Each structure stands twice: as C-alpha cells, then as structure tokens.
C-alpha cells in the first residue's frame, strides 16, 4: 500500500482509537499484541475484559467478550488472531512462516487498541451472537467495527444481521468495515452491500509466494503453493491418480477420490490429481506430496503435505512427462517469496458486484491487500485448516477478503487519527476518492471487482473534498428499504440521490437513459481553493457536470453540483460502461467512478429490491483455502 514505517502519524490519535473486531477471538499471548510502549487505556472506553479462564487483557487488547456458551475469547481457529494483528498488531521483527516471507510484521495502526468480540466457534457464527456483539461494541465505545464474516450467499439488507448491526453503529458515529466475500469471480456475489457498510475486495501485493517442481527430465515448473516442508534432496516416484486405484474407473480415480485411492499404490509417492480438494486423503493414504490444478491462478495456500499447484499448461506438461516416462520422478521445493510486478490485481476469489438487492450503489467500495498476507496466528489452530495437520505456528500466511477488510479498517483508523471529528461517511469518502485507479482491462468486471480502486491511506488523510452523508439520509434509505422504521419516510428517495462518493445506476437493455446524480462536497483541504471537473471514460456515455468549477473560500464550506449521464442504450444484458469524475485543484485530486450497467434480460431497472422477513441464519469466515474450497 506504500505505507512505510517512516510515514507521518498521529501518535495520540492512534492511541485513542479503539477497533472492535467481531470474529473468532484472539490469542492474547501473541507478540503482536504486546502493549509495550502504549499509554493508559483511553478514558472513553466503557467496555470490559470478559476473556474467560486464563485470558488476560492489557493496554493493547482492552476489551474481550465471548458469546459462545462456556467458551473463552481465546482463539482456537486462528482467523480472529490473524485479522486482529493485521489491523493493530504491534511491531514484530523476523516474523515468518517457517522462514517464508520473513520480515517485520506490523499492523496498520500499531498504537490502536483492540476490543475483541468472539462470535464464531469451529463451525459457524450465529446471528444472535453477531447482533449482541454489535450492541456491545457500540455501548463499549469502539470507533470502528471490523467484521470479516458473511453469509454464504448474498441476502437482502432487512435479513442481514451485519447490515442491521452496522446501521445501528453508524447512527452512533461508528464505521463498520466488512469483507466483500470470497465467492468470486462470480457476478452478484458481493456481500456487505448496505450503503452504510464499507465493503472491501481483495487484491494481490508486490510479493508472490511460489515453489518449484523439478521433473526427472530436468524440466522446472513454477507452482503456486506455500510449502514449508524442506526441499527434498532426491527425486521421488510420481504417479497419476488414475493409476492408484483397484476399485474405481480411471476417469473417477484421476480426481483422487478418497474411496478410489489404494494406499499401497501411493505410499511414499507424489500423486498427481485432476482436482484439488482431496489432499487430506492423500496424506492419510501415505503420499508424501501431490500435484494439483491451481484454478485460481493468483494466490498460494498452505497444505498438510508438499504441494505443487500448477496452471493448466503445466499440468498437461507433467501428464505428458508422466505418461511417456518409464519411471517418472519429481522433486517439490520449499516455497520462496519473489517480486510480483503485476500488482495490484483483484484476486479471482474476491466477490463481485453488482448487488442482487441494491442496484444503484457500487459494491465492493474499494480493494486492499488480501493475498498471501503474513500475520499472527493461534498455535492451537492448523495453519492449513486440515484435520490431520498437527503443526503449530505463531505466524502464518493467508488469503481472503478477510485480510483485505482489516487493511481498510486500519486505513480508516489512520485517517480518523488525524481527523477524530470526521463522520464515518467522511472517512469512507476520503479512502474512496483517493484510491489508486485500477486498470479495467487487467481487472475483469471493472468497478464491480474493485469499486473506487485500491486504497492509498497516505493520500486519504488529506483528500481535499469529502462526500458526507447524514444519519438522517441513512435513515431515509433504510426507511425506503424496510418500509417500517421510527422515522418520517419520504415517499421516494432513490439511491442515485444519496451523497455517495461513487455513482452508479442500472438501466434497461437497449433503452436510452438520462441519469442524474446530485452531490454535495465539503472542503476539508485549503480554505481558498478552486476545483475544476474533468471527465474520463467510455465514449458511449455522455457525462456532464454542472457547475464544472467549484470555488471555495473557507474550510468546511459545502458546494452542490449535479452529474448528468446520457446514453442511447446498452445493447447487451449484464454489460458495464464506466467513466470517472475528477475534481482537480492545485493540490488535490478527488476521483469518483461513474458507472452505468444493464441487468439481465429478465429484470428491469430499479434502486432497491423488495424486503424479506428476518430469519435465523449462519455465517462463515472469509478466508480462502485452495486445497478445499473458497468460502
């Protein structure tokens, strides 16, 4: 993110910032949660430390609550520990996963305080616990709530406990940051779609983790796997799944289905499989390594044994070698970190918009690092999430929108430390309008993959202008969605009228359109400043701004403008046309994406879908495991 240790910080502001993490708990003894160098707990804190047996809070972890009956806040899953250290972990030198990605592990705001709310056990996270955690976090006095949890399928806001909890939070001036989900690259899979939620996609970084496969014929192939096992000094026999069965057809056996594997034929061998979700079974059967397809092709993950995850072409090369060699052999090396010039790119697993239920808001809002992130872990949890993996580590590498979510929570806390009186919407606007513009050619699905772009926290602390949204406007949106709230409902308040930092509308296929986006910006930069509008984007969109010059004479002055978008019609369903509005002054650039898209051939345009009844549901943690499946 371009966030060096030498960056200007607000030590007092950071130290006074409290981040509530709703997740699977925390491992308090981790070096990342040392309170060395931290001052007294902020006076505004009203919470408690109810960590349970043998759980102690300190000046870093200032609050802890568990909603799992009879359980402590101690993290046995690892997810909560990992994400908590990303957002506010203290600086730890020589952190690594068995020597891989070694360096300094440091949270985004290492002086900030953590309040931990454990709502997830080994299996699930219940709705009632999530709702109670939101209530407690609000009462305790947190400044930001981060939640890397979501339903396995997108749901309407009125049925979404996180959207409901986040709505209550923003009414109290608390920003909620949520992972967008790991159901990509499928469209309409994004979660956290409420306008008052900061929804985060995952992108890669300038570091890749790879390992190498050395075939017996001298070929060297690059695999995508985090393999901490020492490189084998000798080549070992290589077999194909279809050759190691006595009970299944070759077509079935090539997938390495557990019922097909003959243990005697895989013992002390590397097994090549045409699916990547039966690695545990190979380990149990006695295999000492495996070669699997890497369908994601843009991130590596940890397995319970040495793995070579290959792209399609390299898989075919190995098959050809194995088929044409009398005694095929292979070596799988330990992984290493290398430079990745192709960054940032949105990860394929990162959920895509648009929302099925709220059409006229771009979701996700932004993207942030979420691929191969090294952070603290629970020594009680398996780093590979495998039931047969008994290894124990203090730091591990994970990928998912969960990891990206906490980068954005940290960035929001960083901005807030300089501007403690800003509203949640102003902080969110600052991060959206200063984000790095992403390349829609390299990032499929464009704004529905990355929103406003990749966050740039340094620029966000001085954005020039912000798009603020009042609590009353959020109430009006909720009122129109739910049709029942203790507020006076305006007859119609379309989402295109909401003062959101991005602009989007869904239109009917082949229909001409004229769209209006009224907006108000607040000057938070130089008192006397002039901003000039410019438009970039698709030639099929006629985008105008009135007025196209904003002349400010004082700080916190607001000015109104209208963006009008016209088009003759978009011929195909599920097609996106995008541009951007850029306000430029002598010092600042304030960018907002402008997007028009068509729905499916069977749907019509509109702002919000109809509500549904609230129901009990279960939710999942957004971390991606390549050897099993992405959730």
The residue with tokens 């939710």 is 619
Give percent helix, percent strand, percent coil of the chain, each to the nearest 5: 20, 30, 50
CA dist list (Å): 157 to 160, 189, 403, 425, 522: 5, 14, 23, 19, 29
Joined tokens for residue 4: 């060096």
- Give which of 466, 305, 455 is closest to 365, Cα–Cα: 455
The two three-digit tokens of residue 515, written as one number: 């769209």
Q: What 3-state class would DSSP assign to 506?
A: strand
Q: Residue with structure tokens 């390549």?
A: 626
Q: Which structure tokens are listed for 272?
A: 């090549």
Q: At what angle do helices 161-171 and 471-482 cross, to 10 degrees?
A: 150
CB atoms within 10 A of CB 554: 9
Please tell me the distance from the alpha carbon of residue 81 to that of residue 411, in angstroms, as a whole number: 19
- Name every residue whose Cβ is closer than 8 Å to that of residue 60 and which is 6 or more positions away in sequence: 33, 34, 35, 38, 88, 90, 113, 114
User: If you search the block for the tokens 């890669």, which residue do you land on?
Assistant: 204
Residue with tokens 């305006």: 490
Active site residues: 23, 79, 402
Q: What SS3 string covers 274-328?
A: CCCCCHHHHHHHCCCEEEEECCCCCCCCECCCCEEEECHHHHHHHHHHHHCCCCC
H helix intervals, 179-311: 250-253, 263-266, 279-285
Rounded Cα–Cα distance for residues 557 and 524 (Å): 8
Which token pair is 18? Answer: 């409290």
Tokens encoding 502: 């991005």
- Angle, to 10 degrees, between the axis of helix 401-418 and the axis of helix 79-88? 30
| DSSP structure class, residue 159 | G
Yes or no: say if 454 and 368 are a contact pair by the CB < 8 Å rule: yes
Contact call for residues 562 and 516 (beta carbons, < 8 A): yes
Q: DSSP assignment of 567-620, as one string?
A: ES---SSS-EEEEEEEEE-SS-EEEEEEEEEE--TT----SBPPP------EEE
Examine residue 547 and say whether the peptide bond preceding it is cis (omega within 30 degrees of 0).
yes
Question: Which strands, in side-by-side order, build the sheet including 61-66?
Answer: 61-66, 113-118, 18-23, 144-147, 175-179, 197-203, 366-369
Distance CA 161, CA 614 (A): 9
Q: Which residues pair with 95 in a beta bridge?
A: 103
């Amino acid at each position: 993110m371009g966030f060096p240790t030498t960056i200007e910080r607000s030590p007092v502001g950071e130290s006074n910032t409290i981040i509530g993490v709703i997740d699977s708990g925390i491992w308090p003894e981790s070096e990342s949660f040392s309170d060395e160098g931290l001052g007294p707990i902020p006076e505004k804190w009203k919470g408690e430390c109810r960590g349970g047996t043998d759980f102690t809070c300190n000046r870093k972890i200032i609050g802890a609550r568990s909603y799992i009956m009879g359980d402590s806040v101690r993290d046995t899953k690892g997810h909560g520990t990992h994400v908590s250290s990303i957002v506010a972990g203290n600086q730890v030198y020589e952190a690594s996963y068995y020597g891989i990605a070694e360096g300094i592990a440091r949270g985004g705001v290492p002086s900030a305080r953590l309040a931990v709310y454990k709502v997830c056990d080994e299996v699930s996270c219940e709705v009632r616990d999530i709702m109670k955690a939101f209530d407690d976090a609000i009462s305790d006095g947190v400044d930001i709530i981060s939640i890397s949890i979501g339903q396995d399928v997108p749901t309407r806001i009125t049925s979404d406990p996180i959207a409901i909890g986040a709505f209550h939070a923003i009414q109290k001036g608390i920003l909620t940051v949520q992972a967008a989900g790991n159901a990509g690259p499928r469209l309409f899979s994004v979660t956290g779609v409420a306008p008052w939620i900061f929804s985060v996609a995952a992108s890669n970084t300038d570091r890749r983790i790879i390992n190498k496969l050395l075939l017996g014929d001298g070929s060297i192939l690059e695999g995508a796997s985090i393999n901490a096992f020492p490189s084998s000094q000798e080549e070992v026999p290589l077999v194909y799944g279809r050759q190691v069965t006595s009970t299944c057809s070759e077509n079935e056996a090539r997938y390495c289905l557990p019922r097909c594997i003959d243990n005697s034929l895989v013992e002390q061998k590397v097994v090549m499989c045409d699916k990547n979700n039966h690695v545990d079974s190979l380990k149990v059967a006695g295999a000492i390594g495996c070669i699997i397809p890497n369908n994601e092709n843009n991130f590596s993950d940890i397995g319970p044994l040495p793995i070579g995850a290959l792209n399609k072409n390299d898989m075919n090369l190995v098959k050809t070698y194995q088929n044409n060699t009398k005694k095929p052999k292979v070596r799988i090396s330990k992984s290493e970190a290398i430079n990745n010039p192709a960054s940032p790119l949105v990860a394929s697993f990162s959920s895509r918009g648009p929302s099925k239920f709220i059409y006229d808001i771009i979701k996700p809002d932004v993207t942030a690092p979420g691929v191969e992130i090294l952070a603290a872990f629970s020594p009680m949890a398996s780093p590979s999430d495998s039931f047969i993996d008994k290894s124990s580590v203090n730091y591990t590498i994970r990928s998912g929108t969960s990891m990206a979510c906490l980068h954005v929570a940290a960035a929001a806390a960083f901005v807030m430390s300089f501007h403690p009186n800003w509203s949640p919407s102003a902080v969110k606007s600052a991060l959206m309008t200063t984000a790095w513009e992403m390349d829609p050619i390299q990032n499929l699905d464009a704004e529905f993959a990355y929103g406003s772009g990749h966050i740039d926290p340094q620029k966000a602390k001085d954005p020039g202008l912000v798009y603020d949204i009042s609590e009353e406007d959020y109430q009006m949106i909720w009122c129109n969605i739910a049709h029942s709230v203790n507020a006076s409902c305006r007859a119609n308040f379309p989402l295109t009228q909401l003062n959101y930092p991005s602009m989007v509308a869904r239109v009917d296929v082949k229909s001409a359109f004229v769209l209006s986006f009224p907006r108000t910006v607040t000057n938070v930069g130089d008192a006397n400043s002039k901003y000039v509008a410019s438009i970039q984007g698709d030639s099929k969109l006629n985008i105008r701004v009135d007025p196209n010059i904003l002349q400010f004479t004082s700080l916190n002055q607001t000015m109104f403008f209208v963006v009008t978008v016209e088009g003759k019609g978009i011929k195909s369903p599920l097609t996106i046309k995008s541009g951007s509005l850029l306000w430029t002054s002598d010092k600042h650039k304030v960018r907002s994406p402008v997007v028009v898209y068509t729905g499916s051939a069977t749907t019509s345009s509109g702002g919000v879908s109809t509500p549904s009844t609230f129901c009990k549901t279960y939710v999942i943690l957004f971390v991606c495991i390549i050897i099993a499946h992405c959730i």
